[in-house]
Amino acid sequence: MLALPAESTGTPIHGLYETLVLADAVVARPENSVTRLFEVEIVGPQRGIFPSACGLPLEVHRAISEVDDTDIVITASMLFENQAWVTGQHPETVAWLRRMHAQGADLCSACAGACCSPKPAC
């Protein structure tokens, strides 16, 4: 899951995170299976704790520079100044999204997270 400081909103990120982490608890699995359905992490431009768009703290587990490959990237809801995505604002993040997609990762979004998709104009 991708989180951007001061733009990502906490509720969608936390809700999706909990849903994916708890998937193992609700899915019938072979006894003694240690394989998880999802390895869920919140990633962002840098690791640490930062305020979400609404001021609540969001914890980023790893910086995108630490993630060389993944199967899925989810960008969740974001709030932008003037309610609009500004092109060129996060070049490293968009480059990382493009690289993950080129390596086969599925890019997904929830709500306004679609604004961060690595379109050519980003």
pLDDT tens-digit profile of 49-85?
Answer: 999 988 889 999 999 999 999 999 999 877 766 666 6
Structure tokens at 51: 């305020």
Tell whether the model's pLDDT for residue 113 goes beyond 90: no
Structure tokens at 101: 């997609």
Structure tokens at 19: 């849903």
Position 20 in a domain: yes
Position 121 in a domain: no
The domain tally of the chain equals 1
Tell me what the pLDDT averaged over the chain comes to.
84
Position 81 in a domain: yes
Residue 39 and residue 24 in contact, taking contact as beta carbons nearer than 8 Å: no
Position 5 in a domain: no
Q: 65 is in which domain, residue-wise?
A: 10-26+34-116
Task: For 85-109, write each residue's pLDDT tens digit.
Answer: 667 888 999 999 999 999 999 999 8
Tell whether the model's pLDDT for residue 116 goes beyond 60: no
Position 100 in a domain: yes
Position 122 in a domain: no
Position 3 in a domain: no
Query: What is the model's pTM?
Result: 0.81
